[in-house]
Amino acid sequence: MGVWCYVEITDIPSLEKIYFKNDLLMDIYDDQKNVIIFRGPNNKEASFLFQKGKAEETLEFN
């Protein structure tokens, strides 16, 4: 089973750092894994894999 969510935020004047936390369903399923794919300023792209015990990430723009 899979669930996909798409969120788009526009018109952000500047971005130095962004913090992600994704622990969705981790309290129900011990083996739950969540993915975030982020596209930011200057088309900088990053992807993150979240799992129990590692559900937070920070991305900085230099």
- CB-side exposure of 43: number of CA atoms within 13 Å? 0
Tokens standing for 45? 């792209």
What pLDDT was estimated at residue 43? 80
Residue 20's DSSP bridge partners are 57
What pLDDT was estimated at residue 23? 95
State pTM to two decimals. Answer: 0.80
Domain ranges of the chain: 17-60
What pLDDT was estimated at residue 2? 82
What pLDDT was estimated at residue 24? 93
Low-confidence residues of the chain: pLDDT under 50: none
Phi, psi of 42 (to 5 degrees): 55, 30
Tokens standing for 61? 């723009």
Amino acid letter, residue 7 = V
Helices (runs of H) and strands (runs of E) counted in the chain: 0, 4
DSSP 28: T
What pLDDT was estimated at residue 50? 97
What pLDDT was estimated at residue 58? 95
